[in-house]
Structures are given as structure tokens and as C-alpha cells.
Amino acid sequence: MAEQLAYLRTAMALPAVSLGVIPFTASRTMWPVETFNVFDDREAGVELLSAQVTVTAPGEVGLYVQAFDRFKDRAVYGAEARALISKAIGFLG
């Protein structure tokens, strides 16, 4: 896992990458129950226990966009995110 975290730190420097980290101390009113990706306002991908699902119904995609925005607002970016990743690597060390 330390190598994966180190890779994230490296990827953060790429110009097309915006990587946020939600600190453990962040206030949360919502917890994800599945992994999801929002591609745009027309498509989201959801990983369920048994399958990968592509969501295209506008109302359902909107729910994932809203969830993503809520998580994004609680995340930290840049130097603060790098510091949290480095701290996590240190714990694994």
C-alpha cells in the first residue's frame, strides 16, 4: 500500500490531475456505500459487489454528481493532501 500511496503523490504533480484527500478529521454527514466514478453530467460508473454498472439516467447521474461534490468539498488538495499521504506512508513504514 505504501507504493500505491507514493504513486498517488507522484500523480498529483501531473497537470491534468486533481487529487483530493478527505482527512479523517473532516466532518461527514455521508459515507459512500459503493465506489463510484463520475465521468461527466451524463454518465457515472458504480462498482457493486457483483458488477460494474454504468448509470446514464439523468436523475441518477445527478445523485452521484451531488455525492461527488459533497466529498470534494471536504477534501484537501496540493501540499496539504501530499502531507496526509506522506503521513499515511509513514504509518505503514
Residues 20-64 have pLDDT tens digits of 999 988 888 777 778 999 999 999 999 998 999 999 999 999 999
According to DSSP, residue 50 is labeled S
pLDDT of residue 74: 93
- The verdict on pTM exceeding 0.75 is yes
- Which grid cell is 35? 465506489
Is the CB of residue 75 less than 8 Å from the CB of residue 58? Answer: no
